[in-house]
Structures are given as C-alpha cells and as structure tokens.
C-alpha cells in the first residue's frame, strides 16, 4: 500500500509539473499580448496610464463567474493582481509614491492595489506624495484618508484644496497591529515604540496587559520596528510586513482594541480612470453661511436617489468660520443623475471642485 501511494504521489507531482510548465508558457504568451497593448496605448497617448482599473475589474469578474472550482474564488483576485502587476512592469515602470517608510500600512495598501512588481517610492510626508505625482515623477500616489477608529486624516483633505490631482481609486486596508520584538517573552519588554495612531488603537490592550511599560511615540510603525532591531528589550506595535523586513518575533498578534479596524487610502493621479459601473465620486465645496444652507446643499442628492457615503467638514483656512465640505457619493460623473445633482449643488454653494470619479473598493 505504501509503495502504491508513493507511485500515485509521484504521478500527481509529474502532472502538476506539466501543468505548471503550461501555465508558465501561457503567462509568457499573455505577456507578449500585454506588451503589444502597451505600444498601442502609447501611440494614442504617450502619457496614458497603463494601469486600467476598469479592465482589471472586468477580468476578475469574468474569471470569478467562470470558475467551476475547486480553486477558491477569493484567491483569483490576489493571483491575478500579481500577474497583472508583472505584466504592467513589462510595458514600463509603474512608479507609485506613498507615505513612507517601508513596511507601513500605506506600503501594504500599495501592494494590495498595484502588486509586487510596481516601483514603490517612499516619501516623508503626504505633501511630498502629492508633489511627486504633480511633477510627473510618479504615475500614482497613495495616501491615507481615514481610519474606522481614529477618523479622518486632515492633512490629506487639506491638500486637495490647492492640488489639481484626481482621485484614481481607493483601497480599504485591514489594520492589524502586532507586538513585535527581539525578546522571547512579553514579560521581557521594557519599552514600546509606535506611531501615535497605532498606540491609540491599542490603548486598552496596553493598559490591561503592560500598564507599567513606557510607550514612546515615533514617526511610523516601521520606524518603531527598526528601533527594536538593536534594542532586545524593546517592542514595536507594527505590521506583519514590518516583522518580515526587520526580522522580529510576534510576541502577541492582533492587539488592536477594535478588531474591525480599517484604514481607507486614496490613489492619486493626474488622469482620471475609466468608468467601471461600480464607481464613486468625490467633491469638495463651500456653502454660503445662512440658515438651512447644508440642508439645501444635500437635498439634490436625496431627490435624485444618490447615496451619499461620506461627508466631512474642514476649516477653509481662507476666512474665519468658513468651512469646506468633502462629500462622497455613489455613481460616476458620466451618469445623468450624478451630473444633474452636481449642477444643482453648484448653484447653491460658493464653489465646487470635483476630485474625481473612480472605482469603489471591492
């Protein structure tokens, strides 16, 4: 029986090797077609974005519908994200600027959106990310805009006031914080480093489990992990990617107080993406200071059946007690009802700026 099982095992392994050889041949064949598509795009527009979310969504949806199993549907997206990422790199470098350093959650969001084959450029600030894309030194930028626990990232919203960049997409990244260290036990930890937001998101766990250990703020969770490399008695609150890059141990996993903890990131570009059929539109506007102004502003969205998924206000920085509202609505600018609603709203506010229509996260 053992010999028979061994023969069967060897036979299946040979079949898998043959299948893998065929997959590799087809990947190269696919890549040649991608290269030709890239040439055609460049002929019609030398500055065209090679990354096309609408086409990616179409491919994933079609394959998911056709999948008869047993390969799981949920694995199709990450597999094809890497296939498409590698294919795009053959057409030209896809440069993505992001709020660094490496191993932050913004870095993770980048790889979730663009795959491992893109060229990632860590920047020191959100402003630097905007500048890098505005100057054409990066095709895309990725910045955090809000967290389900800590709220909005005000600096990102403020940057849109003076920037001409468009929102090209969004990424929802689950934020799982781990206690990382060179130490072997939690009891050996003498100090903890992390970013203020990560510390706030783990406050209850820290107070319950390590109430007497000092917690020190640093510019990023990645910097916290880096400090622990040379401090065996220190620990960092950081990501799994930080653990891998800095060779640390996980003393305790998922220490965030709210397990349903997500951060939303925006993808920035000089160009607008194609319509996908599952889109979102973001605008910023300022209303006249009068009774019922906000109600009148929002009424066109409701009357035309548009779902408003977010509204956030910020001081305008130009006049005391004047506020800018950031609004997300479901739908695309090319849709008649979206176009009509924004035309009505424009007549009721001091100014309106469209930040872009882009694919909703899926």
Query: Per residue in 330-350, pLDDT tens?
Result: 999 999 999 999 998 888 788
How much helix, strand and coil, in percent to the nearest 5, is found in the chain?
45, 25, 30
Cis previous bond, 214, omega within 30: no
Q: What is the pLDDT of residue 362?
A: 62
Q: What is the pLDDT of residue 210?
A: 94
Whether the CB-CB separation of 89 and 34 falls below 8 Å is answered with no
Query: Per residue in 188-226, pLDDT tens?
Result: 999 999 999 899 989 999 999 999 999 999 988 989 999
- Please state, rounded to an integer, the average pLDDT across all residues of the chain: 88
Cβ-in-10-Å burial (0-12, 13-18, 19+) of 251 comes to buried
Q: What is the pLDDT of residue 231?
A: 93
Q: What is the pLDDT of residue 258?
A: 84
Residue 123 neighbours by CB distance under 10 Å:
22
Helix (H, G, I), strand (E, B) or coil at 351: strand
Helix (H, G, I), strand (E, B) or coil at 236: strand
Listed as ranges, residues in the chain with pLDDT below 70 are 46-50, 149-150, 288-292, 316-322, 362
Rounded percentage of the chain residues whose pLDDT exceeds 70: 94
The runs of H, that is alpha helices, within 235-348 are 240-246, 293-303, 336-346
Q: What one-character DSSP code corresponds to residue 229? A: T
Q: What is the pLDDT of residue 253?
A: 93
| Domains annotated on the chain, with CATH | 2-90 (1.20.59.10), 93-175+262-269 (3.40.190.10), 178-252 (3.40.190.10), 279-359 (3.30.70.260)
């Amino acid at each position: 029986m053992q010999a028979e099982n061994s023969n069967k095992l060897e036979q299946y392994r040979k079949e898998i090797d043959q299948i893998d050889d065929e997959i590799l041949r087809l990947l190269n064949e696919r890549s040649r077609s991608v290269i030709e598509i890239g040439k055609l795009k460049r002929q019609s527009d030398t500055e065209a974005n090679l990354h096309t979310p609408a086409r990616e969504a179409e491919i994933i949806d079609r394959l998911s519908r056709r999948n008869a199993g047993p390969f799981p549907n949920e694995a199709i997206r990450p597999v094809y994200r890497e296939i498409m990422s590698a294919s795009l790199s053959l057409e030209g470098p896809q440069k993505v600027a992001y709020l660094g350093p490496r191993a932050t959650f913004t870095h993770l969001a980048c790889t979730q959106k663009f795959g491992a084959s893109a060229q990632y450029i860590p920047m020191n600030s959100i402003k630097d990310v905007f500048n890098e894309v505005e100057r054409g030194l990066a095709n895309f930028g990725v910045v955090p805009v809000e967290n389900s626990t800590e709220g909005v990232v005000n600096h990102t919203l403020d940057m849109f006031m003076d920037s001409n960049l468009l929102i090209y997409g969004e990424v929802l990244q689950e934020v799982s914080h781990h206690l990382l260290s060179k130490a072997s036990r939690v009891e050996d930890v003498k100090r903890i480093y992390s970013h203020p937001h990560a510390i706030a998101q783990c406050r209850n766990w820290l107070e319950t489990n390590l109430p007497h250990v000092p917690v020190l703020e640093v510019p990023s969770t990645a910097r916290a992990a880096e400090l622990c490399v040379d401090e065996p008695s220190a620990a960092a609150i950081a990501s799994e990617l930080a653990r891998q890059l800095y060779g640390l141990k996980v003393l305790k996993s998922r220490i965030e107080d709210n397990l349903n903890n997500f951060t939303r990131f925006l993808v920035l570009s000089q160009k607008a993406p194609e319509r996908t059929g599952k889109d979102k539109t973001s605008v910023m506007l300022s209303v006249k200071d009068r009774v019922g102004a906000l109600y009148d502003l929002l009424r066109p969205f409701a009357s035309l059946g548009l779902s408003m998924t977010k509204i956030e206000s910020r001081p305008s920085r130009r006049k005391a007690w004047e506020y800018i509202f950031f609004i997300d609505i479901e739908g695309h600018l090319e849709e008649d009802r979206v176009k009509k609603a924004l035309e009505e709203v424009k007549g009721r506010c001091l100014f309106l700026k469209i930040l872009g229509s882009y694919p909703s996260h899926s």
